[in-house]
């Protein structure tokens, strides 16, 4: 099926099988390998992207469902290699170790901060509940997000 | 992880969706996909065709009638319900939906999908039974209404027959509701849950203990434990809970849900 | 829940880079999604591999037919066990008999021995096609009874996994030190503990295993892009199996999404990829999915401790213990039975008892093969010693804090030689315990207990003390098998000045988030007296850099010792060469008169005589006419760090098995809902001591991560099997790992007891030793008043304990 998907401002036209998951479309067809796969049951959130302004797990969407949609991935956050305040906060607060969950975490935090610029600790944790991390224990990630809150 | 081949259709109306479902034996409705896509990844079920209900406005919307009845479109997402001013007329709905999984799942997962998949550990089947919801099912012959307690027929099975669609759920007015669960981690999958509603007497629906929600009634919240015992449930054993433990939890959670409902 | 409070550790401010929480170099690429993880690597024409896996825990394979799969357009080819048996030798076995006799191939040959075992590999044009085609592979099985409980694996009627071993016993050994008879005679009392059980789980790194393998036909070499965290071990296993020299196996890694030990034994799958890359003449790509990982990779050692007897005095002094450890290795010995000796690095735990006997038996069962998991084998043993302390305290009606302090190895005892000759280098356990208790406001516990009771909750507090022994002496493998020719350890680093004076470092390690690039740069910058920004550390690992030796990799809590000591050595070599060169260029100035500063080298007394690094690099590389003939300078320095070890004594089973001993002492406060058994951790303190910390923030990050994983393991995470050998928790839906809302408030603290044995005073610390498991078990015991005998305490088990308490 023909689809036209806009990712980080660029529109891609491709022919895809209906069964192709959106995460595989991003990674394999568009070479946007920043979003990751960490599970096969929709639990880990490493594939999280923003889809028409809404945070989703791209492993539970088909590429064909993204026809006409506008998607934001981690690759679209920094401009010309300039890290955003959120990304810088992750660096300052050591909110990443292996970095595998990090793109998903950044998208979830980005979605949160768009809706709520002064989240409490509890609100931050709830916003990140769909993103599994095995390295950090989440404490530093919460601190990083809190530090960019107003 | 990788799906089998499947066809995909995106109908422009409920009528078109029904036609596609009726004329293709292996066609399944795709709502939020938060359950179905995972089932397909595991290849536990592989429909021949997915009929995408996204974009069918007739299946969306939350309306609050003058008599307090809430009508919720089947394709309403958990997030939409949590954020809906109308839905606050029955607060338990948003409260429970807010604890389902995580924000990504809540942004796509739908009320209709939750009840139609009828996974015994889901939150909404017992809740719908406790509040006395009524499900509207559309098919070739028109629409029919099924009360929640007759809607759930078996594990993953509901009164929605092949070629039919759940279109909306009507929830009567009320505020004295409760919900209690023991979950696998905070806001995780339910190990056992119970929903309760008080309207004079107490109406309790147990989840996770049988193929379908188990409906019980009692005069007071204090009498709920007896009602659970009298029901002689034999819940399944699995890696998270033995039958004995689940039975015990059912009693405790039913009482807590009833007490919450009674004191609202 | 209260807000997260993080108590910054009191550190003296260091001059220079060491000791500073320098921001990580790794982050810029990882934050932009520009890391290179193995599944990100692509090659033109690559084929995607899918494994057909066994649906049975134990069965004969009676027929394999790949013809229907191969007939599909777009399927490039397949590989079967029969081919593997013809093309390769069985993998080398670490074990002595009977484990030595098992025949381990990279695909099942003749038999399957666990659900999920790879049987056939299919390679196709797309991922989906490989998956589809695998459903057309026909395999016929004759099911056999399955052995799923280690306690029955040696019964006369138990099914036997490996006929070549003539039984399910893989390895056994008796360890005995001191004088147990005397100890038990001296005891006022013998505390008996019939059964303790450490459960099966692992660290489920978010990224699963994977590889992309290319075969260069012309030179007969494979390039293996993979996230295997111990390529040295993989090479030693793969080379002989494939009958090729190790230089034909080039391992390349860049970013790895977590390892925790679970990415050490992927060599069977890598061999399959290599054989197929050669057979099909195209690159072969393998992605392991979550379910595949749970079914088949790296479960942690499940261990029973039976018939434990503890000799104690009435005042709580521990004299000694004896126990029978029964270890469940699963279906294959991939890194086992090293677990049978590695526990001995911490034989007495943190305590001063001298008389110890442990009878270790390891058996095979029809479950996933075990291999190292964070805290490998020491965690199980340390959990055991902590359980013993708390059970003894309960039996004697003594305060667990006092029993610990009475028996802890003391700061003044350090370095402390244990009954089996291991040397605890440094530490102050009592001070750490005090700090941990302070961080949870231990004095307030009685009040909090009463307040919780008013709310209908049961509160408990527990201590978990643990050691993280690091930098192995591989000579301990000889206590498993005296024929083995391994001993000592090593790690390599290179540091060079490029032609334009760029400082470039390569490491032999395979970091999975530990910040090696950053900490290595800190060490280099301190020696060359430059900025960390001037030091470029290459990301990842590549055999082509020749920056590795036999034991290179990232595992077993060692980088701060082995990796950084190699970096230190190489940089000191480079520094000396720079000075030697400058001395010659300045016309014969001795090295002592020179210093490195400001991006170059100068004469101390007259700093205007200055040669920038760029000039040094240029002279050696492009402008070297006129230099003295006997000037030995390359500005490309390779250093092999070798920790000081002797070969252990095989007869007495004594010797120093690990170079450093980091310590963690945790305290957990739990609140249990007595009606349901559900509980939460309401307060938690973690205090660590890993000697000199090069980057305190990086250290603390790993302490936190270890804490979170331990909490996950004790409450939720378990690999549980039904009686037919089916894994009941094969994915993240049923195997619940902690999410953000599960995390308790955490206070951290630290002290630094430098190691006297390491060049930088550092100690390895990455694994932690499961302190969270020990602490939460202790807290549950305190809350319920019942003895906790299992490391896995889901709500159901806690509810049962409370039921028992009421009975």
Residue C470: what pLDDT? 95
> What tokens does B122 get?
């889901």
Common-topology check for domains C376-476+652-718+725-806 and C491-538+554-641: yes
Place of tokens 């406790």: B130
Q: Looking at the complex, does the CB of residue B102 fall below 8 Å from at least one CB of chain C? A: yes
C578 vs C584: CA distance, rounded Å: 10
Residue C759 predicted with pLDDT over 70:
yes
Q: Kindly report the nearest CA distance between residue B79 and chain C, in angstroms.
A: 18
Exposure string of C158-187, with b = 16+ CB inside 10 Å and e = fewer, is beebbeebebbbbbbbebbbbebeebbeeb
The answer to whether the Cβ–Cβ distance between C736 and B188 falls below 8 Å is yes
Closest-CA residue of C relative to B193 is C676
The answer to whether the Cβ–Cβ distance between B104 and A18 falls below 8 Å is no
The DSSP code sequence of C566-592 is HHHHHHHHHHHHHHHHHHHHTTS--GG
Residue C9 predicted with pLDDT over 90:
no
| Alpha-carbon distance values, C56 to B130, C53, C106, C159 (Å) | 42, 9, 18, 14
List, for residues C389-430, the tens digit of each pLDDT value.
999 999 999 999 999 999 999 999 999 999 999 999 999 999
A109 vs A98: CA distance, rounded Å: 18
Q: Kindly report the nearest CA distance between residue B225 and chain A, in angstroms.
A: 33
Residues of A in contact with B95 (CB under 8 A): none
Which residue ranges of chain A lie beneath pLDDT 70?
none
Chains contacting A (3+ CB pairs below 8 angstroms): B, C
Domains of chain A, first to last: 2-75 (3.10.20.30), 85-147 (1.10.150.120)
Q: Looking at the complex, does the CB of residue C420 fall below 8 Å from at least one CB of chain B? A: no
For residue C213, give the H/E element and its range: strand C210-216
Residue C6 predicted with pLDDT over 60:
no
For residue C274, give the H/E element and its range: helix C267-280
CB neighbours of residue C139 within 10 Å: 22
Furthest-apart CA atoms within chain A: distance in Å:
45
List, for residues B113-157, the tens digit of each pLDDT value.
999 999 999 999 999 999 999 999 999 999 999 999 999 999 999
Out of B1, B103, B108, closest to residue A40 by CB: B1
Nearest to C306 by CA among C283, C289, C294, C322: C322
CB neighbours of residue B191 within 10 Å: 23
A8 vs A22: CA distance, rounded Å: 15
Interface probe for C, chosen from B39, B40, B182, B253 (most Cβ of C below 10 Å), is B182
What is the pLDDT confidence band of residue C807, given thresholds at 50, 70 and 90? confident
The answer to whether the Cβ–Cβ distance between B34 and A42 falls below 8 Å is yes
Q: Looking at the complex, does the CB of residue C44 fall below 8 Å from at least one CB of chain A? A: no
Residue C102 predicted with pLDDT over 50:
yes
**To the nearest 5 percent, what fractions of chain C are helix, strand and coil?**
30, 25, 45
Q: Which CATH number fits domain B57-171: 3.30.465.10, 3.30.450.20, 3.10.20.30, 3.40.30.10?
A: 3.30.465.10
CB neighbours of residue A3 within 10 Å: 21
Residues of C in contact with A100 (CB under 8 A): 35, 37, 205-207, 255, 257-258
List, for residues C486-515, the tens digit of each pLDDT value.
999 999 999 999 999 899 999 999 999 999
Out of A18, A54, A127, closest to residue B6 by CB: A18
The answer to whether the Cβ–Cβ distance between A134 and C737 falls below 8 Å is yes
> What tokens does B148 get?
């929640």
The answer to whether the Cβ–Cβ distance between B105 and A62 falls below 8 Å is no
Residue C485: what pLDDT? 95
The answer to whether the Cβ–Cβ distance between B33 and A21 falls below 8 Å is no
Residue C673 predicted with pLDDT over 80:
yes
Assess if CATH 3.40.1000.10 describes domain C491-538+554-641. no
Q: Which CATH number fits domain C38-144+208-256+264-296: 3.20.20.150, 3.60.15.10, 3.90.1170.50, 3.30.70.20?
A: 3.90.1170.50
Closest-CA residue of A relative to C510 is A98
> What tokens does C739 get?
């999410």
Q: Looking at the complex, does the CB of residue A57 fall below 8 Å from at least one CB of chain B? A: yes
Nearest to C721 by CA among C150, C106, C120: C150
Contact by Cβ (8 Å): C32, A81: yes
The answer to whether the Cβ–Cβ distance between C742 and B185 falls below 8 Å is yes
Q: What is the mean pLDDT of each run of 10 residues along chain B (264 residues)?
A: 98 97 96 98 97 96 97 98 97 98 98 98 98 97 97 97 97 97 97 97 98 97 97 97 98 98 96
Out of A20, A131, A137, closest to residue C708 by CB: A137
Q: Which residues does residue C612 pair with via DSSP β-bridges, in sequence order?
A: C600
Q: Looking at the complex, does the CB of residue C27 fall below 8 Å from at least one CB of chain A? A: yes
Query: What are the residue ranges spanned by the domains of chain C?
Result: 38-144+208-256+264-296, 376-476+652-718+725-806, 491-538+554-641
Closest-CA residue of A relative to B39 is A41
Residue C12 predicted with pLDDT over 50:
no
Nearest to C4 by CA among A88, A103, B100, A93: A93
> What tokens does C583 get?
């001395």
List, for residues C310-348, the tens digit of each pLDDT value.
999 999 999 999 999 999 999 999 999 999 999 999 999
The answer to whether the Cβ–Cβ distance between A100 and C3 falls below 8 Å is no
Return residue ranges of chain B for CATH 3.30.390.50: 177-262
Out of C128, C204, C733, closest to residue A19 by CB: C128
Domain C376-476+652-718+725-806, second-level architecture: 2-Layer Sandwich (3.30)
Q: Looking at the complex, does the CB of residue C4 fall below 8 Å from at least one CB of chain A? A: yes
Q: Looking at the complex, does the CB of residue C487 fall below 8 Å from at least one CB of chain A? A: no
Residue C15: what pLDDT? 59
User: From start to end of C125-209, where are the E strands?
Assistant: 138-143, 169-177, 189-198
A67 vs A84: CA distance, rounded Å: 29
Assess if CATH 3.30.390.50 describes domain B177-262. yes
Out of C4, C39, C257, closest to residue A142 by CB: C4
Q: Looking at the complex, does the CB of residue C92 fall below 8 Å from at least one CB of chain B? A: no
Chains contacting B (3+ CB pairs below 8 angstroms): A, C
Percent of chain C with pLDDT over 70: 98
List, for residues C111-140, the tens digit of each pLDDT value.
999 999 999 999 999 999 999 999 999 999
Q: Looking at the complex, does the CB of residue C207 fall below 8 Å from at least one CB of chain A? A: yes
The DSSP code sequence of chain A is -EEEEEETTEEEEEE--TT-BHHHIIIIIS--TTS----SSS-S-TTEEEETTEEEEGGGSBGGGGTT-EEE-GGGTSBTTB--HHHHHHHHTT--SS-SSHHHHHHHHHHHHHH-SS--HHHHHHHTTT---SSS-SHHHHHHHHHT--
Mean pLDDT of C743-772: 95
Q: Kindly report the nearest CA distance between residue C504 and chain B, in angstroms.
A: 41
Mean pLDDT of C199-216: 98
Residues within 8 A of B (CB atoms), C 675-714 only? 675-678
CB neighbours of residue B12 within 10 Å: 9
C194 vs C190: CA distance, rounded Å: 12
Residue C779 predicted with pLDDT over 80:
yes
User: From start to end of C59-99, where are the E strands?
Assistant: 59-65, 75-80
ipTM value of the model? 0.99
Chains contacting C (3+ CB pairs below 8 angstroms): A, B
Contact by Cβ (8 Å): C664, C675: no
Residues of B in contact with C716 (CB under 8 A): 184-185
List, for residues C286-300, the tens digit of each pLDDT value.
999 999 999 999 999
CATH, domain range B7-52: 3.30.43.10
The answer to whether the Cβ–Cβ distance between C796 and B241 falls below 8 Å is yes
Residue C4 predicted with pLDDT over 70:
no
List, for residues C421-460, the tens digit of each pLDDT value.
999 999 999 999 999 999 999 999 999 999 999 999 999 9
Contact by Cβ (8 Å): C205, C259: yes
Contact by Cβ (8 Å): A21, A59: yes
Return residue ranges of chain B for CATH 3.30.465.10: 57-171
Exposure string of C505-532, with b = 16+ CB inside 10 Å and e = fewer, is bbbbbbbbbbbbbbbbbbbbbbbbbbeb
The answer to whether the Cβ–Cβ distance between C732 and A39 falls below 8 Å is yes
Q: Looking at the complex, does the CB of residue C740 fall below 8 Å from at least one CB of chain A? A: yes
The answer to whether the Cβ–Cβ distance between B103 and A111 falls below 8 Å is yes
Mean pLDDT of C83-96: 98
């Amino acid at each position: 099926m023909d689809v036209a998907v806009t990712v980080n401002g660029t529109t891609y036209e491709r022919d895809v099988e209906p069964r192709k998951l959106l995460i595989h479309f991003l990674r394999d067809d568009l070479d946007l390998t920043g979003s990751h796969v960490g599970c096969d049951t929709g639990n880990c959130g490493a594939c999280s992207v923003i889809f028409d302004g809404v945070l989703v797990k791209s492993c539970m969407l088909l590429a064909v469902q993204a026809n006409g949609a506008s998607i934001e991935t981690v690759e679209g956050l920094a401009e010309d290699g300039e890290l955003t305040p959120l990304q810088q906060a992750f660096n300052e607060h050591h909110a990443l170790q292996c970095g595998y969950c990090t793109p998903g975490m950044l998208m979830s935090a980005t979605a949160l901060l768009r809706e709520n610029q002064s989240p409490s600790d509890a609100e931050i944790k709830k916003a990140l509940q769909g993103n599994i991390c095995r390295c950090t224990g989440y404490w530093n990630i919460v601190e990083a997000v809190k530090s960019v809150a107003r | 992880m990788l799906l089998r081949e499947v066809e995909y259709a995106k109908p422009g109306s409920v009528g078109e969706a029904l036609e596609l479902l009726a004329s293709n034996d292996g066609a399944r409705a795709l709502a939020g996909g938060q359950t179905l896509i995972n089932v397909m990844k595991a290849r536990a079920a592989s429909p021949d065709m997915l009929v995408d209900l996204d974009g069918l406005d007739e299946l969306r919307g939350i309306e609050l009638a003058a008599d307090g009845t809430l009508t919720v479109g089947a394709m309403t997402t958990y997030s939409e319900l949590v954020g809906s001013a109308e839905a606050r007329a029955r607060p338990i709905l948003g409260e429970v939906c807010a604890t389902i999984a995580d924000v990504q799942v809540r942004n796509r997962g739908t009320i209709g999908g939750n009840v139609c998949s009828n996974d015994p550990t889901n939150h909404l089947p017992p809740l719908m039974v406790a509040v006395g919801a009524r499900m509207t099912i559309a098919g070739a012959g028109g629409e029919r209404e099924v009360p929640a307690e007759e809607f759930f027929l078996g594990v993953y099975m509901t009164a929605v027959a092949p070629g039919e669609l759940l279109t909306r759920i009507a929830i009567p007015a009320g505020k004295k509701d409760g919900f209690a669960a023991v979950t696998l981690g905070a806001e995780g999958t339910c190990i056992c849950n119970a929903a309760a509603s008080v309207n004079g007497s107490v109406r309790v629906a147990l989840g996770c203990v049988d193929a379908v929600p188990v409906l019980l009634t009692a005069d007071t919240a204090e009498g709920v434990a007896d009602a659970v015992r009298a029901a002689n449930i034999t819940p399944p054993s699995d890696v998270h809970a033995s039958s004995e433990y689940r039975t015990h939890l059912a009693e405790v959670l039913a009482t807590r849900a009833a007490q919450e409902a009674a004191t609202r | 829940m209260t807000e997260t409070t993080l108590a910054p550790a009191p550190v003296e401010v260091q001059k220079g880079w060491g000791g500073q929480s320098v921001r990580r170099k790794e982050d810029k690429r990882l934050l932009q999604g520009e890391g290179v993880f193995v599944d990100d690597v692509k090659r033109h024409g690559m084929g995607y591999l899918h494994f057909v896996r066994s649906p049975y825990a134990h069965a004969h394979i009676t027929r394999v037919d790949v013809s229907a799969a191969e007939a599909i357009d777009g399927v490039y080819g397949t590989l079967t066990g029969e081919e593997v048996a013809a093309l390769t030798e069985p993998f080398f076995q670490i074990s002595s008999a009977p484990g030595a006799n098992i025949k381990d191939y990279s695909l099942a040959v003749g038999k399957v021995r666990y659900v999920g075992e790879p049987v056939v590999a299919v390679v196709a044009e797309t991922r989906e096609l490989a998956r589809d085609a695998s459903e057309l592979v026909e395999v016929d099985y004759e099911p056999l009874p399955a052995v799923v409980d280690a306690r029955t694996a040696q019964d006369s009627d138990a099914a036997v996994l490996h006929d070549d071993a003539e039984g399910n016993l893989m390895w056994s050994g008796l360890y005995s030190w001191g004088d147990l008879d005397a100890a038990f005679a001296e005891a006022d009392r013998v505390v008996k503990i019939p059964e303790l059980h450490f459960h099966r789980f692992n660290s489920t790194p978010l990224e699963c295993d994977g590889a992309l393998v290319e075969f260069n036909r012309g030179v007969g070499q494979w390039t293996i892009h993979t996230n295997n965290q111990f390529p040295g071990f993989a090479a030693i296993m793969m080379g002989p199996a494939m009958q090729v020299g190790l230089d034909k196996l080039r391992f390349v890694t860049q970013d790895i999404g977590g390892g925790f030990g679970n990415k050490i034994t992927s060599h069977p799958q890598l061999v399959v990829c290599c054989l197929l890359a050669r057979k099909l003449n195209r690159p072969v790509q393998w992605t392991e999915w979550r379910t595949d990982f749970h079914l088949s990779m790296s479960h942690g050692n499940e261990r029973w401790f039976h018939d434990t007897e503890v000799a104690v005095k009435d005042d709580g002094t521990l004299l000694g213990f004896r126990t029978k450890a029964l270890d469940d290795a699963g279906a294959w010995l991939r890194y086992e039975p090293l677990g049978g000796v590695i526990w001995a690095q911490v034989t007495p735990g943190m305590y001063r008892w001298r008389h110890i006997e442990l009878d270790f038996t390891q058996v095979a069962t029809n479950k996933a093969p075990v291999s190292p998991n964070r805290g490998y084998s020491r965690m199980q043993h340390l959990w055991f010693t902590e359980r013993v302390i708390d059970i003894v305290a309960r039996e004697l009606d003594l305060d667990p804090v006092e029993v610990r302090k009475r028996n802890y190895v003391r700061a003044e005892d350090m370095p402390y030689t244990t009954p089996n000759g291991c040397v605890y280098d440094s530490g102050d356990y009592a001070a750490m315990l005090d700090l941990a208790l302070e961080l949870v406001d231990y004095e307030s516990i009685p009040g909090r207990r009463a307040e919780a009771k008013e709310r209908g909750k049961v509160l408990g507090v527990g201590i978990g003390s643990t050691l993280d022994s690091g930098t192995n002496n591989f000579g301990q493998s000889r206590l498993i098998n005296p024929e083995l020719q391994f001993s000592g350890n090593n790690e390599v680093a290179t540091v060079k000045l490029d032609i334009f004076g760029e400082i470039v470092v390569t490491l032999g390690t395979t970091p999975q988030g530990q910040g090696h690039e950053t900490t290595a740069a800190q060490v280099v910058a301190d020696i060359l007296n430059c900025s960390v920004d001037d030091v470029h550390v290459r990301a990842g690992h590549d055999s082509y850099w020749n920056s590795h030796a036999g034991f290179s990799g990232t595992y077993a809590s060692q980088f701060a010792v082995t990796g950084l000591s190699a970096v230190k050595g190489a940089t000191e070599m480079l520094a000396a060469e720079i000075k030697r060169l400058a001395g010659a260029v300045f016309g014969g100035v001795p090295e002592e008169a020179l210093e490195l500063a400001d991006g170059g080298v100068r004469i101390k007394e007259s700093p205007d005589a200055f040669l920038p690094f760029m000039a040094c690099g240029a002279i050696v590389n492009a402008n070297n006419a006129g230099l003295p003939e006997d000037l030995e300078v390359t500005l490309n320095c390779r250093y092999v760090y070798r920790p000081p070890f002797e070969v252990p004594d095989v007869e007495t089973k004594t010797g120093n098995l690990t170079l450093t001993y980091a310590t963690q002492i945790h305290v957990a406060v739990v609140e249990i809902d007595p009606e349901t058994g559900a509980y939460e951790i309401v307060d938690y303190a973690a205090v660590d001591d890993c000697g000199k910390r090069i980057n305190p923030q990086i250290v603390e990050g790993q302490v936190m991560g270890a804490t979170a994983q331990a909490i996950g393991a004790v409450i939720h995470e378990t690999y549980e099997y039904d009686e037919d050998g089916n894994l009941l928790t094969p994915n993240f839906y049923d195997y619940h790992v902690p999410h953000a809302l599960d995390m308790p408030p955490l206070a951290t603290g630290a002290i630094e007891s430098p190691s006297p044995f390491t060049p930088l005073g550092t100690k390895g610390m990455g694994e932690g030793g499961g302190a969270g498991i020990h602490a939460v078990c202790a807290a549950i015991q305190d809350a319920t008043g019942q003895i906790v005998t299992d490391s896995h305490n889901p709500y159901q088990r806690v509810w049962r304990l409370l039921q028992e308490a009421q009975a």
